[in-house]
Amino acid sequence: MRNKIVAGNWKMNTTPVEGVALVSEVLDAVKDMELNHKKVVFGVPAVSITSVASIIGDIANVHVASQNISSYDSGAYTGEISATMLEASGATMAIIGHSERREYFGESNQVLATKVDKALGRRITPIYCCGEVLEERKNNTFQTVIKTQVEEGLFHLSMEEMAKVVIAYEPVWAIGTGETASPEQAQEVHAFIRSLVSAKYGNEVADNLSILYGGSMKPSNASELISMVDIDGGLVGGASLNASDFVEIIKAM
Ligand code: PEP
């Protein structure tokens, strides 16, 4: 049975003190929830990983994720943060290949493939993001775009490695815009991604793969999206910065 996951992506918001307050409020509200086969993830700024990890402590199925990871191990790479450092700070997951990193920081599928390797080289689960821009949706090339992102970023992995990966489908036109893919549009792409993984790695890996939807997920649309057969949760930006909205989304999974 594959895991359902609701992961917040705070982006470049919150100080460590604000982050601890936000996580405490969320955890307090979900403390009685049964999290069997369900995970709650906080994708926080790197400077908050240690303090958020210490608030979470050993609560099962609650994780801290970084929002990036270096493709280098160590050395003269000013400003970079390695997988070893992230793991030592308490991160157990990493968002890799978010469209903002692809667009503003020029991260190619090839660089992202290396980042995925670095995460898996430590005990960090990659949440690998893919998704098309509006023009690619409109001109109907979105499946080709997503196929290339998934193949070039992930398909060098062994079957054992692929079994540890989480994928997030995030149509770029729906991120931070208030516009959401319809459950049917999202389901179509999730099923497509699962079929790609199945063709390469077999049914078992594909069936156990959690594929999250991201793009203006909010309390009002979360249950409908997550109820689709191939949508296993959400990667949530804006709504994850509001404790009660994020809690409602967690409760929808
Ligand atoms: C995101 O940043 O991954 C995201 C999906 O943002 P939002 O929920 O704000 O669209």
Sequence letter at residue 74: S
Of ligand 1's atoms, which has the minimum distance to the CA of residue 238? 9
C-alpha–C-alpha distance, residues 168 and 184, integer Å: 16
Question: Which residues' Cβ are closer than 6 Å to ligand 1?
Answer: 9, 98, 170, 175-176, 214-217, 235-239
Point out the catalytic residue in the list 63, 87, 98, 132.
Answer: 98
> Full-prediction pTM beyond 0.85?
yes
Residue with the nearest Cα to atom 2 of ligand 1?
A: 237
Q: Which CATH number fits domain 4-251: 1.20.1250.20, 3.40.50.2000, 3.30.530.20, 3.20.20.70?
A: 3.20.20.70
Residues with Cβ < 8 Å from 215, sequence gap 6 or more?
A: 131, 170, 171, 173, 174, 175, 177, 179, 180, 181
Residues with Cβ < 8 Å from 186, sequence gap 6 or more?
A: 169, 171, 213, 225, 228, 231
- Of the pLDDT bands very low, low, confident and very high (cuts 50, 70, 90), residue 179 is confident
Domain boundaries, the chain: 4-251
Write the pLDDT tens digit of every residue in 106-160: 999 999 999 999 999 999 999 999 999 999 999 999 999 999 999 999 999 999 9
Quickly count: other Cβ atoms within 10 Å of residue 81's Cβ: 18
Answer whether residue 36 shows pLDDT above 90: no
**98 catalytic residue (yes or no):** yes
Answer whether residue 180 shows pLDDT above 90: no
Q: What is the mean pLDDT of residues 184-190?
A: 97
